[in-house]
Amino acid sequence: MDDWPEIRQSVARLCAGFPGSYWQEQDAKAAYPTEFVSALANAGWLAALIPEEFGGAGLPLSAACAILEEIHASGGNGAAAHAQMYVMGTLLRHGSAAQKATWLPAIARNELRLQAFGVTEPDAGSDTLSISTMAVRDGDDYVINGRKIWTSRAQHSDLMLLLARTTPKDQVARRTDGLSVFVLDMRDCPGLSIQPIATMMNHGTTSVFFDDVRVPVANRIGEEGQGFRYILSGMNAERILIAAECLGDARFFLDRACDHARTRQVFGRPIGQNQGIQFPLAMAHARAAAARLMVADACRRQEAGERGEAEANMAKLLAAEASWQAGEAALQTLGGMGFAAEYDVERKFRETRLYQVAPVSTNLILAHLAEHVLGLPRSY
């Protein structure tokens, strides 16, 4: 599999224009990193996965992984924009020719932002099939009522890929039926309101309220009632891309920690000379290296068109744990300085912690592996 050295260098050069001080400022103000996202989009990196016929670069998933990993290794945060890479996959795979022609070239030209993905609801997080936001057919429209939570970047996106129920849960033949996917244009959308949620890291996440919001039938992706399958088909890519971000985080933590360990003198010698400092860093390196192999394997399977669900899940699970452990080792290595905002470690520590919960929590991955790989009874 190509490791994309030229892409990595190019993204790293772009990221060098957005140093720690830039991210610290956005973090302190809980501001969206607009300049960074614009630079990324203008350079074409957010259109990496859009096929060339629609104006994108037509690159494979491993290239998108390289882009996101470099952003994170530089100390930045791809969460401000990563959804555009995987959300459009649902449109690409299941949208009609007319839908793709309408939206994909405009996204590739950076004239339209598809950054919001509305799935989770207050009463349905891990249990996606319990969502209750309803889309009811009314002539050429659907009328949507309900609420989403944790819809990240909704205030910085033109479009939202929305999963809503078109058949009540108690009337479906199969648990996975009755959900539909829509592309909601949020630019002129009466009845839609968005409220930011304050979180431990700067993530631009929101609650979204739908009060008789109308969406044209023409904006429904694929068949009515089949939306869960369409969303599911994009989840492997999402998990692999997030895993790549975690690998970047692990690199960032280890770089910072090792620099500090080599130079910080305590009791007349560098702290990195102590095995108590070396071993957690060496262990974190080994774990990140193992996770990297898993991410590469998951990526290769996706690119080869295999199902690769277990591998995508394991890649995300192991990379999220590796980045967290690298963060923990870095924080300990930096001592008091680890807690100072100007060293960026505390910010990255908060940011990387998310990936053990979202987009799917570690427990749910373990439950999936137990059932589907190990053949154990379903636990939920």
Least CB distance to ligand FAD at residue 7 (A): 25
DSSP class of residue 119 equals -
- Rounded to whole angstroms, the Cα distance separating 278 from 147 reads 48
Least CB distance to ligand FAD at residue 92 (A): 19
Residue 277 or 318 having the CB closest to ligand FAD = 318
Residue 14 or 119 having the CB closest to ligand FAD = 119
332 is a site residue for ligand FAD (CB under 6 A): no
Least CB distance to ligand FAD at residue 304 (A): 27
DSSP class of residue 57 equals -
- Rounded to whole angstroms, the Cα distance separating 244 from 288 reads 11
Which residues are CB-contacts of 339 (< 8 A; sequence separation ≥ 6)? Answer: 331, 346
Residue 227 or 359 having the CB closest to ligand FAD = 359
Angle between helix 275-303 and helix 227-263 axes, rounded to 10 deg: 150
78 is a site residue for ligand FAD (CB under 6 A): no
Q: Are 94 and 141 in contact (CB under 8 A)?
A: no
Interaction with ligand FAD in 193-222: which residues (CB under 6 A)?
199, 203, 205
157 is a site residue for ligand FAD (CB under 6 A): no
- Rounded to whole angstroms, the Cα distance separating 133 from 124 reads 10
Residue 62 or 352 having the CB closest to ligand FAD = 352
227 is a site residue for ligand FAD (CB under 6 A): no
Read off the tokens for 313. 């899940």
For 105, counting Cβ atoms within 10 Å of its Cβ (0-12 exposed, 13-18 middle, 19+ buried), the class is middle
Least CB distance to ligand FAD at residue 198 (A): 11
Site of interaction with ligand FAD (CB under 6 A): 117-120, 125-126, 150-152, 199, 203, 205, 354, 357-361, 363-364, 367, 379-380
